[in-house]
Amino acid sequence: NAGVTQTPKFQVLKTGQSMTLQCAQDMNHNSMYWYRQDPGMGLRLIYYSASEGTTDKGEVPNGYNVSRLNKREFSLRLESAAPSQTSVYFCATRGATNEKLFFGSGTQLSVL
């Protein structure tokens, strides 16, 4: 039982390049989230998906797009990476509104 799996674990991009961060969960949860974590800033919500087929913006959505491919998978895409997007990205899932989040191990992204 893997829980929440994120790929890749590390990535270095040049400014302007694009990439997709992948997230898959085997917990049969409806809700999935993408956060970024920067030093001193805490976790900030980028996008979330309440259920398959729906997505909504979080606190810092600019420069990102998401796809809820099916119940298991929720991907985050950077169309034109910028140095300001250098961060650690976490995917998380939750079964119900008042329950805890389960996090993946994160993707460390550097944009040069």
By C-alpha distance, which of 59, 84, 77, 96 is closest to 20?
77
CB of 15 to another protein, least distance (A): 26
Nearer CB in complex with another protein: 20/105: 105
Q: Which residues bind another protein (CB under 8 A)?
A: 4, 33, 35, 40-45, 48, 58-59, 90, 92, 97-98, 100-106
CB of 55 to another protein, least distance (A): 13
Decide if 34 contacts 90 (C-beta within 8 A).
yes
Decide if 107 contacts 46 (C-beta within 8 A).
no
By C-alpha distance, which of 34, 22, 7 is closest to 94?
34
CB of 16 to another protein, least distance (A): 28
